[in-house]
């Protein structure tokens, strides 16, 4: 193979890797900032905007560089590999000192974008000796776009779930450095005296990135420990979220993406409010229950206190949360091995998808009975419709994380609640955790108003004091009256609830009073804004 052919292939490889790395750097930065600050739409949009503007500036500035193209290109690539590879470790580090986080995010995004903007013009000019302008632009862009395509596939299916954000950026930095190694091999004569300096830069940057990879787990442990006051007994990054379990004496806590899910000291208050309270107001039998979220097993444990419940379906997207709750000794002690109970069926799926799929089964079954779903709902528990009733639920409990991202906010929309309502039996009850009516008052009442708008005839907001969370809100909804208490005696086993406090849980202070705020919908996810606005006001 001629040297000219080898150089052409080397430049083609450079275009491919440039496209691969540039997209992943952008995705990593946007994902990390969204993970720390929430509001993924806002920060993905800002990241893309700054990135593209900086790329444009880099492309424009490239025209002022006319000599020593190969050596200058390689020097820029070393800088890009360093900035891109170390971008996520730097964001993690500055998040501990939050005043530096946003400036670091902006500087990194713009700097990386600027250097990426230099790549295509440089590669196009370097190919001038081998092809016509029309051909070399087509070749460079083709392989750059192919690299970008592979990157967008690898990021969600391999890089994030297997390596995590932190190590992915370091690995991509090393991959980026292979451009320098390949071009040095085939353009050695064009480098002249700069060859030694470039090689020294390549070696130094590769050493830094390799060392950072070797010590990544230790660095992440130290970083996690700096964020949490208590000892970390488990930490992992799954495909969907960061899971951290901490322990301080008798206090075991679970965090998902930095947000506390429970404290073992007072979780019983939360779970009695979420489950035992609506059970008091549910008319008729509760045979079949659907849990959305609740992969830690604590809500299942609470439900198993009711012998009348025959089946519980738990739907949790992240399989690792459930597996951890089954195997971690601290979580197993808390949930009393509830996830192993034969009454429980575990489904790993998106909550919205599960509800849609289950309703499809309900419609199909209703059609085989030659009656509409509405007609079935008007019947009593007869033999004719008993099998259909077994597909629907008497009680649906939403124990999903707070709506601090656009992905989670969609699980609090009118469309979601309408689909959920179709999965309830005619006297069924739905209850959802609804964030704090004190810290995020607008968000709480938006959830309430959205449930009203979704068609439930009776919607009851209530709240309870959970010291780890503060004043915490819930909303209960049904097409049946919710004012008359059932015959169930939940107080013999309760640690928190007693008969005298039930009505007071529906009373809100003046600074928590009902607000005429917008409902949350797929098209207009106002809840995300309400939620972030409320918590940020208090410095969270």
User: Do residues 156 and 136 lie in contact, with contact meaning Cβ atoms separated by under 8 Å?
Assistant: no
Question: Is 316 annotated in some ligand binding site?
Answer: yes
Residue 23: both structure tokens together: 């997209």
Give the DSSP H or E segment for 315.
strand 311-315
Question: Is 375 annotated in some ligand binding site?
Answer: no
User: Do residues 144 and 18 lie in contact, with contact meaning Cβ atoms separated by under 8 Å?
Assistant: yes
Alpha-carbon distances of 540 from 195, 360, 470, rounded to whole Å: 51, 40, 13
Conformational region of residue 424, where left means phi above 0, alpha means psi within -120 to 50, and beta covers everything else: beta
Question: Is 333 annotated in some ligand binding site?
Answer: no
HSE-up of residue 154 (Cα within 13 Å, Cβ side): 20
Alpha-carbon distances of 277 from 223, 269, 280, rounded to whole Å: 39, 11, 5
HSE-up of residue 388 (Cα within 13 Å, Cβ side): 31
Question: Is 167 annotated in some ligand binding site?
Answer: no
Question: Is 271 annotated in some ligand binding site?
Answer: yes
Using CB atoms within 10 Å of the CB of residue 100, give its burial: 0 to 12 exposed, 13 to 18 middle, 19+ buried.
Answer: middle
Tokens 């704090």 appear where? 436
Catalytic residue among 39, 144, 394, 399: 399
Active site residue 399: yes
For 470, list phi and psi in degrees, rounded to 5. 100, -160
CB atoms within 10 A of CB 347: 16
Local structure of residue 339 (DSSP, 8 states):
G
Using CB atoms within 10 Å of the CB of residue 502, give its burial: 0 to 12 exposed, 13 to 18 middle, 19+ buried.
Answer: middle
In DSSP terms, 470 is beta-bridged to 466
> What's the CA dihedral at 90, 95, 98, 101 to 10 degrees?
40
CA 335 to chain centre: 24
Question: Is 225 annotated in some ligand binding site?
Answer: no
User: Do residues 266 and 348 lie in contact, with contact meaning Cβ atoms separated by under 8 Å?
Assistant: no
In sequence order, the 6+-apart residues with CB closer than 8 A to the CB of 349 are 315, 317, 357
**Hey, which residues are catalytic here?**
399
Please enumerate, by residue number, every residue annotated as part of a binding site for S-methyl-5'-thioadenosine.
Answer: 241, 316, 350-351
Please enumerate, by residue number, every residue annotated as part of a binding site for spermidine.
Answer: 271, 296
């Amino acid at each position: 193979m001629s040297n000219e052919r080898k150089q052409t292939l080397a430049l083609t490889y450079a275009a491919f890797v440039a496209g691969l790395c540039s997209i992943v750097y952008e995705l990593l930065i946007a994902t990390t900032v969204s993970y720390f600050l929430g509001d993924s739409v806002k920060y993905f949009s800002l990241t893309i905007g700054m990135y593209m503007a900086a790329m444009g500036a880099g492309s424009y500035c490239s025209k002022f560089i006319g000599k020593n193209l190969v050596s200058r290109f390689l020097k820029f690539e070393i800088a890009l590999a360093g900035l891109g590879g170390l971008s996520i470790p730097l964001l993690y580090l500055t998040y501990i000192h939050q005043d530096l986080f946003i400036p670091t995010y902006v500087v990194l995004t713009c700097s990386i974008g600027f250097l990426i903007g230099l790549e295509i013009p440089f590669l196009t000019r370097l190919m001038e000796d081998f092809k016509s302008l029309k051909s070399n632009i087509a070749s460079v862009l083709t392989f750059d776009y192919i690299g970008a395509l592979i990157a967008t596939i690898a990021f969600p299916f391999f890089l994030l779930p297997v390596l995590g954000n932190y190590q992915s950026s370091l690995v991509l930095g090393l991959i980026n450095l292979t451009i320098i190694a390949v071009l040095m091999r085939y353009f050695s004569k064009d480098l002249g005296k700069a060859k030694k300096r470039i090689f020294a830069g390549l070696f130094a940057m590769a050493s830094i990135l390799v060392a950072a990879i070797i010590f990544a787990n230790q660095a992440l442990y130290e970083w996690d420990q700096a964020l949490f006051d208590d000892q970390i007994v488990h930490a992992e990054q799954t495909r969907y979220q960061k899971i951290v379990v901490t322990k301080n004496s008798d206090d075991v806590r679970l965090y998902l993406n930095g947000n506390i899910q429970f404290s073992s000291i007072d979780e019983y208050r939360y779970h009695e409010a979420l489950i035992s309270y609506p059970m008091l107001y549910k008319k008729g039998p509760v045979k079949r229950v659907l849990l959305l979220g609740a992969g830690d097993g604590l809500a299942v444990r609470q439900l198993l206190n009711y012998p009348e419940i025959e089946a519980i379906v738990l739907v949790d997207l992240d399989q690792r949360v459930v597996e951890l709750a089954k195997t971690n000794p601290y979580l197993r002690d808390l949930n009393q091995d509830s996830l192993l109970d034969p009454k429980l069926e575990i489904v790993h799926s998106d909550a919205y998808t599960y509800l849609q799929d289950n309703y499809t089964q309900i419609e199909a079954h209703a059609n085989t009975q030659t009656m509409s779903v509405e007609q079935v709902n008007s019947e009593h528990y007869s033999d004719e419709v008993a099998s259909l009733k077994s597909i629907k639920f008497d009680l649906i409990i939403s124990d999903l994380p707070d709506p601090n991202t656009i992905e989670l906010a969609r699980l609090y929309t009118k469309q979601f609640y309408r689909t959920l309502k179709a999965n309830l039996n005619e006297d069924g009850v739905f209850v959802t955790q609804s964030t704090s009516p004190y810290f995020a008052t607008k968000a709480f009442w938006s959830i309430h108003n959205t449930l009203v708008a979704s068609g439930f005839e009776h919607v009851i907001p209530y709240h309870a004091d959970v010291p780890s969370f503060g004043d915490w809100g819930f909303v209960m909804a049904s097409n049946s009256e919710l004012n008359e208490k059932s015959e169930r005696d939940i107080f013999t086993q309760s640690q928190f609830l007693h008969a005298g406090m039930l009505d007071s849980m529906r009373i809100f202070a003046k600074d928590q009073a009902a607000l005429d705020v917008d409902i949350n919908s797929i098209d207009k996810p106002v809840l995300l804004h309400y939620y972030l606005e409320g918590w940020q006001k208090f410095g969270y």
